[in-house]
Amino acid sequence: MTTPMLEIRNLHARIAEREILRGVNLTVPAGEVHAIMGRNGSGKSTLSYVLAGKADYEITEGEVLLDGEDILALDPSERAAKGLFLAFQYPIEIPGVATMTFLKAAMNAQLKARGQAEMTTPDFMRAVKEAGQSLHIDSDMLKRALNVGFSGGEKKRAEILQMALLAPKMCVLDETDSGLDIDALKIVSDGVNALRGPGRSMLVITHYQRLLNHIVPDVVHVFSDGRVVESGGKELALELESKGYAGFDEAAA
Ligand SMILES: Nc1ncnc2c1ncn2[C@@H]1O[C@H](COP(=O)(O)OP(=O)(O)OP(=O)(O)O)[C@@H](O)[C@H]1O
Ligand SMILES: [Mg+2]
């Protein structure tokens, strides 16, 4: 059997004395795109934060293997260097740091951590311009402070630009579709689809079945009360859309 790209085994996590993740089991094979759907507050963003290694969460049980390697003991930058990428539900604003500068620093930090040579400025500019073009991100936007004053859709596009440049192995997209207009949804989806490939897996968290018409998942998971309660093909998303989450809560109980 080949090693899955991401394997989450019986993951339990707490924040502020509250257990939010209650035994998550989830396996994403290399090259596959999996979707997670689940009601507000079920713990989806918590899962993405715990995967990325955000502080404040206490892992009480379980394992997370990235390409066969346990990552729970690693800090966020080490996880990123191993090829994990998280696109936030609410991208953070960094006043005073131009988007271009941020992207270059992020990229070079990763190249360094992987033992590769830093990119020269002209090479980097070329890479950004190329990746930015398909995402409709112009050079004016790249000169502005990261995410400061960006519209909701612009923030999401900037996240995907970062993802395209860093070329991660495992991408976790937390509600990348929320707040996108129809054109932006298509732009972002095309950007994500362009990055699909045998060496890269994705976990796409969404509330909307319509995203999955653009980014067609291999597997859909239903998340409820801190764990995966049902997994199936993309038709599961349609079933959810028509029936709601009620039927699946019983499976969790
Ligand atoms: N710092 C915290 N202190 C206490 N509770 C928290 C904290 N952070 C998150 N929670 C709680 O954890 C639960 C899960 O939150 P989470 O953001 O993971 O949900 P979600 O599934 O992503 O929801 P949504 O679909 O609305 O984005 C919520 O009840 C939330 O209030
Ligand atoms: Mg969330």
Q: Give the pLDDT score at 88.
A: 82
Per-residue model confidence as pLDDT tens digits over 52-107: 999 999 999 999 999 999 999 999 989 999 999 999 878 889 999 999 999 999 99
- pLDDT at position 246 over 90: no
Q: Give the pLDDT score at 253.
A: 54
Across the range 214-237, mean pLDDT stands at 96
Residues of the chain above pLDDT 70, percent: 98
Q: Is 224 in the pocket of ligand 1 (CB under 6 A)?
A: no
CA dihedral 5, 7, 8, 9 (to 10 degrees): -170
Å from CA of 245 to ligand 2 middle = 16
Q: Give the pLDDT score at 150.
A: 92
Per-residue model confidence as pLDDT tens digits over 17-35: 999 999 999 999 999 999 9
- Judge whether 130 lies within some domain: yes
- Spatial CA neighbour of 167 closest among 134, 125, 203, 196: 196
Q: Give the pLDDT score at 248.
A: 79
Q: Is 227 in the pocket of ligand 1 (CB under 6 A)?
A: no
Q: Give the pLDDT score at 252.
A: 54
Number of domains in the chain: 1
Q: Give the pLDDT score at 74.
A: 95
- Domain limits for position 227: 6-252
How far is residue 162's CA from residue 104's CA, in Å, rounded to a whole number? Answer: 10
Q: How confident is the model at residue 251 (pLDDT cuts 50, 70, 90)?
A: low
Q: Give the pLDDT score at 92.
A: 85
Q: Is 149 in the pocket of ligand 1 (CB under 6 A)?
A: no
- pLDDT at position 250 over 80: no
- Judge whether 103 lies within some domain: yes
Q: Is 21 in the pocket of ligand 1 (CB under 6 A)?
A: no
- Judge whether 101 lies within some domain: yes
- Judge whether 1 lies within some domain: no
Q: Give the pLDDT score at 114.
A: 84
Atom of ligand 1 lying closest to residue 42 CA: 21
Q: At what angle do helices 182-194 and 152-166 cross, to 10 degrees?
A: 10
- Spatial CA neighbour of 171 closest among 141, 148, 205, 140: 205
Residues of the chain above pLDDT 90, percent: 73
CATH of the domain at 101: 3.40.50.300
CB atoms within 10 A of CB 188: 25
CA distances for 178 relative to 40, 116, 185, angstroms? 13, 35, 9
Distance of CA 74 to the CA centre of its chain: 18
- Judge whether 221 lies within some domain: yes
E strand spans, 82-240: 84-87, 94-98, 145-146, 170-174, 201-205, 219-224, 227-232
Helices (H), 72-150: 76-81, 99-113, 121-134, 139-143
Å from CA of 40 to ligand 1 middle = 8
Q: How confident is the model at residue 48 (pLDDT cuts 50, 70, 90)?
A: very high
- Judge whether 64 lies within some domain: yes
Per-residue model confidence as pLDDT tens digits over 125-166: 999 999 999 888 988 999 999 999 999 889 989 999 999 999
Structure tokens at 179: 């707040």
Å from CA of 48 to ligand 2 middle = 9
Q: Is 20 in the pocket of ligand 1 (CB under 6 A)?
A: yes
Residues 6+ apart with CB under 8 A from 167: 195, 200
